[in-house]
A and B are shown apart, each in its own frame.
Chain A
């Protein structure tokens, strides 16, 4: 059997590797492979950590207070340095430049999935409208992925028709009192909300909730700070461990892949940075699956293209980004109610803005409804329009009633939004990220925000303002080597149109980015590509 190299250990890489191993291939999984420090005090809730940690300030804000969000900052949250899975421009290995595109990535084992929001949805035919594959093509892979990843949620509710392909294996996550009151209001005013096209229901989350399981969620409100119990799906803690049970698997850390060496129409070597030795090395290979995340995969492909085809401009066909817009609100019915002592920290409710059949794409726009339970609050207090003393008092008086509706906007390939290799010298060729929001997207954002605000009023909530992440801030990227025709694309099975033994196994291959959370589709795509690869 062939020796295959998979680049990247995130959701895509780990599922591609596992599928290849199941097919009997020997797999080397290459990765920078940084590790996070262990999560402290299992079982302690978010607020209990303040009492029990020796230095809670260093844990929550960092010893240099790097996670303290300054006034007037657009951020509502910063991960503390103790959660080192997320990297950006300040990282020494970061090899992107951009003009206004706030890109993030991960060099951690498990990739960005170390900090994902656990929403586990699948793309249906409308979501895949611009793809050369249909839901039927993806269905088998989705089934495999949902077998591998336990997902909690209702078996059937009003959202089920819009969430095709989601397989539930765990009971729904426990709702807070505020969630229940919001759902109750929804049930009473359903007809008015339906007229707006808004449907509300329980979230589908990749979390173990079955209390008979040892890794079941203990509702310690620490999802953002790392699930100490391993209840939330993380490839590092499950899929990669499944890979390790196969004799043909080898995990190789400390390698940042920069480019591939080509010979004719195939790849015969990998050029990488040995992170420890700070030296660039090359190694021969037989087949490569790129799953380093859409940005890194796109960068690797463009550097390879630049070396192999001097006549081809080293510019990607696309760069897709999910725009994230948050609408803070006050749920009037929850004012005066006590906050729950323990809860799931991420969103427990979701809402779909569903358009009629006349809207070609997207017919389903995904939103998450989150009532605040446990966060670092100072950025939220500073955002209130009063002096700090009044804001702090009001905030804590109203906290059980405060929530955020987060809308995720889809993206399609737009001329000019692309990656470009630029030669600034240094140890790696840097890649520029060029991105501008399209007018179509802006129009959709305006319409959807207005719809969600109207829905919130009908749900008995007072929305106030919007918080919009800068481009790139949503940390969902795709489309850098998209499916389609042309040398800079891959085919419907993820195989590069230029190099016969190169497979694009992550979101780089997505020719459009639907609104629904992408993680399960990344896993399904990687599984399908690995399954169909002609090795």
Chain B
């Protein structure tokens, strides 16, 4: 079964079967496929549910939930995505011969009145269960309201690297669902074509191709895109590679790892800051004054066509998000320098933040993300590691809400960060004993 692009709006096959059972219809796979495509376009067609409706839309649909939400959303929460699901199921099934026959079953004569009264009683009975359930759900919603991130993506432009798969893809989908326009960077044309075919045609996404392992590729792709750097409200460096099983002495892998995981962040920040501030000029001037070469800093480039006026209003603040790793706190053998590159990224990110603050560039905030392990494709999946896995969707949510709030560091989940720091405090010998058992994942 294909992974759902927008779980808030779409339903999986099991949920579809539950909806059909609720409506007393026979599930049909070809109708489900059409429904799924229709619902994949919902984030771009219909108003996004907020507040309590959104809270109720997140859990999976079971028959019990569907029966409750059907009545409640009709009466109180018309923006809930279930309304589109139920309406879509009725529409598709009424155009289908079998579905129409099932829907159009109607009694005749006096039995019609019994049916009408029966349905009225069933509705009242449903409400007598659904209303207390709604009150209970409200309590849960109100209790968690303080810790719930505010929605702030609508109308913003997000630039995300590594959207071809994993966390980057999730971040892109979250941004699209939240009403943002996404400029995504993928590694190859094949990845772009695959992703384009997967996304609904109405999705506000522009995909750029840049192999971040090639120095300057990201900068070139961004320049050629004619996108105004100042229009980007949130820029997330999510792309990363990891050469499992390769010695930290393998120079080619080490260079590639640093290029993708670290230097591409420099390129991204350079493009963002350079087009809208004089940071690079100041840096270069200072370097010249010191008599040293401004190595690694590109000369000030002319603004790309269209960038000067921008194809969109300037964002008042740009959130720069660098996805590092909790692995940055400790070494790891045979990782091709992955942990070292993430350490460099975290420290460099903090340095960038300091530099921006010192120069008074209040337009930028820098958020360093150091997540625990999650299903990214980089971590070997064992029974033990799966226990430690944190949901990738939750990591994406935390990153976006933390970045929008301008937090300097995000380490989801908190308990994993505490565990890592505890291990870091017990000394290198003990750390070695713990990590020595970690087997590398075969290199891809």
Contact = CB atoms under 8 A, between A and B. Distances in A.
A382 B89 CA distance: 11
Contacts of B122: 390
A381 B90 contact: yes
B352 interface: no
A394 B90 contact: no
B178 interface: no
Judged by DSSP, the binding face of A is helix
Interface in B154-202: none
Given A56-B97, A386-B74, A396-B105, A71 B119 contact: no
B386 interface: no
Interface string B85-102: 011101110111100100
Interface stretch (A60-68, A203-211, A471-479): A60-68
B109 interface: yes
B126 A56 contact: no
A336 B97 CA distance: 23
Contact of B94 (A51, A70, A378): A378
Contacts of A382: 83, 87, 90
B74 A387 contact: yes
A70 B108 contact: no
B74 A65 contact: no
Given A47-B100, A50-B100, A393-B119, A65 B91 contact: yes
Interface stretch (B110-118, B361-369, B404-412): B110-118
Contact of B71 (A50, A338, A387): A387
Contacts of A47: 100
B95 A56 contact: yes
A388 B70 contact: yes
B253 to A, nearest CB: 46
A70 B84 contact: yes
Contacts, number: 116
B78 A68 contact: no
Nearest to B112: A336
B105 A68 contact: no
A70 B45 contact: yes
A50 B113 CA distance: 29
A251 interface: no
A57 interface: yes
Centre residue among A68, A69, A377, A398 by max chain B CB count within 10 A? A68
B22 interface: yes
B136 interface: no
B135 interface: no
A60 B87 contact: no
A71 B47 CA distance: 11
Interface string A374-403: 001110011001111111111011110000
A400 to B, nearest CB: 8
B23 interface: yes
B52 interface: no
A389 B22 contact: yes
B421 to A, nearest CB: 49
B34 interface: yes
Contact of B116 (A61, A337, A391, A394): A394
Contact of A336 (B96, B105, B109): B109
Interface in A299-346: 335-338
Contacts of B123: 386-387, 390
B116 A378 contact: no
Count class of interface residues, chain B: 35 or more
A330 to B, nearest CB: 10
B126 A378 contact: no
B38 A389 contact: no
A72 interface: yes
Contacts of B112: 335-336, 397-398
A50 B95 contact: yes
Nearest to B35: A65
Given A389-B70, A394-B119, A337 B108 contact: yes
A386 B91 CA distance: 17
A56 B38 contact: no
Given A47-B100, A71-B78, A392 B90 contact: yes
B91 A378 contact: yes
A298 B283 CA distance: 63
B107 A397 contact: yes
Nearest to A59: B95
Interface in A57-111: 57, 59-61, 65, 68-72
B65 to A, nearest CB: 13
Given A50-B95, A376-B94, A68 B106 contact: no
Nearest to B106: A396
B29 to A, nearest CB: 13
Contacts of A56: 95-97
Interface in B60-82: 67, 70-71, 74-75, 78
A510 B294 CA distance: 77
B87 A70 contact: yes
B103 interface: yes
A302 to B, nearest CB: 33
A83 B84 CA distance: 24
Contacts of A61: 91-92, 95
Given A336-B113, A376-B94, A377-B94, A71 B70 contact: no
A60 B97 CA distance: 12
A57 B96 contact: yes
A394 to B, nearest CB: 5
B46 interface: yes
Interface in A214-271: none
Nearest to A48: B97
Contacts of B357: none
B162 to A, nearest CB: 30
A396 B104 contact: yes
A396 to B, nearest CB: 5
Nearest to B22: A389
B58 interface: no
A338 to B, nearest CB: 6
Given A50-B97, A392-B103, A397-B115, A378 B90 contact: yes
B92 A57 contact: yes
A206 B410 CA distance: 71
Contacts of A391: 74
A375 to B, nearest CB: 10
Contacts of B71: 386-387
A388 B86 CA distance: 7
A385 B105 CA distance: 20
Contact of B70 (A59, A68, A387, A399): A387
A65 B34 contact: yes
Contacts of B126: 387, 390
B24 interface: yes
A431 B26 CA distance: 50
A392 B86 CA distance: 11
Contacts of A70: 45-46, 84, 87
Contact of B87 (A388, A389, A399): A388
B61 to A, nearest CB: 13
A382 B103 CA distance: 14
A376 B38 CA distance: 17
B35 to A, nearest CB: 9
19 contacts: A50-B100, A60-B95, A65-B34, A65-B37, A335-B112, A382-B87, A387-B74, A388-B70, A388-B74, A388-B90, A389-B22, A389-B67, A390-B119, A390-B120, A392-B90, A394-B119, A396-B105, A398-B116, A399-B106
The 8 lowest CB-CB distance pairs between A and B, nearest first, are A387-B70, A336-B112, A378-B91, A387-B71, A388-B86, A71-B83, A60-B95, A50-B97
Interface of A: 47, 50-51, 56-57, 59-61, 65, 68-72, 335-338, 376-378, 381-382, 385-394, 396-399
Interface of B: 22-24, 31, 34, 37-38, 45-46, 67, 70-71, 74-75, 78, 83-84, 86-88, 90-92, 94-97, 100, 103-113, 115-116, 119-120, 122-123, 126
Given A61-B91, A377-B90, 10 more contacts: A50-B96, A56-B96, A57-B96, A335-B116, A336-B112, A390-B126, A391-B74, A396-B104, A397-B106, A398-B116
